[in-house]
Amino acid sequence: MSQEVATLSSKEVAEIDAQIRQEAAALKDTLSVSGNKLSLKDKQFKLPDGTILNGPLDIIVVDWSSQNQYYAGAYDPNNISSPDCFAIGKDPKTLVPDASISAPQNGACEGCPMDAWGSGQGNGKACKNTRQVIIRLPSRPELFTLSLPPTSLKAFDEAMKSIIATDAQPLQFIIPISFHPEKSYAQVIWGEAQPNPEYAKDYMLKKNGTTGELLALKPE
């Protein structure tokens, strides 16, 4: 049997795309909404089940949001608590405290004294700015949440902007991520994007609301 890849007509490609969309729509019923987090601790990519994946790690960025988190007290690893104030949204410039916050630090994150440089340790901010990124690994069907720390935001934003500038969506690509070799902390850097052959499935996960549900989860 020949293993050569057949040349498909435009009609056949359209039929395959339609089938992909149909199968992707069914995926929503097989995916549970949870905080399935990919950890970056100790400069290792660690899955919720404890599996450690060596980098560079190929990922597909399906969706993301901006999230700010403010804790009034010092971090205690033995007593994890919810933030005293937090905000979730697409545009970091228009974030406002979540409606569930009883004592917001400010009416909006823009102009909040806790979001100002120098309000935290050293010259940092008291409020932690993050990107909550919904990703998928090419070899796995489930979605994971990747929480990028402040030191990784610039590289992430630049990587996404470079793709969007071509009138494409990041989910149409597989991107390798790794850790900056010269940093002692987990600063994520982004490699060269390659086409994602299953982008239609990932697009449907975004369109049908699955990623939106994950991004709406409140920080713990």
**pLDDT per residue over 8-22, tens digit each?**
678 877 777 777 777
Q: What is the pLDDT of residues 111-129, one digit of tens each?
A: 999 999 999 888 899 999 9
> Which pLDDT value is given to residue 27?
54
For residue 85, is pLDDT > 90? yes
User: What mean pLDDT is predicted for residues 96-104?
Assistant: 93
Q: What angle do CA 141, 145, 148 make, to 5 degrees?
A: 140
| Phi, psi for 16 (deg, rounded to 5) | -65, -45
For the chain, the helix, strand and coil percentages under 3-state DSSP, each to the nearest 5: 30, 25, 45
Can you give the pLDDT at residue 23?
Answer: 66
Model pLDDT, residue 64: 95
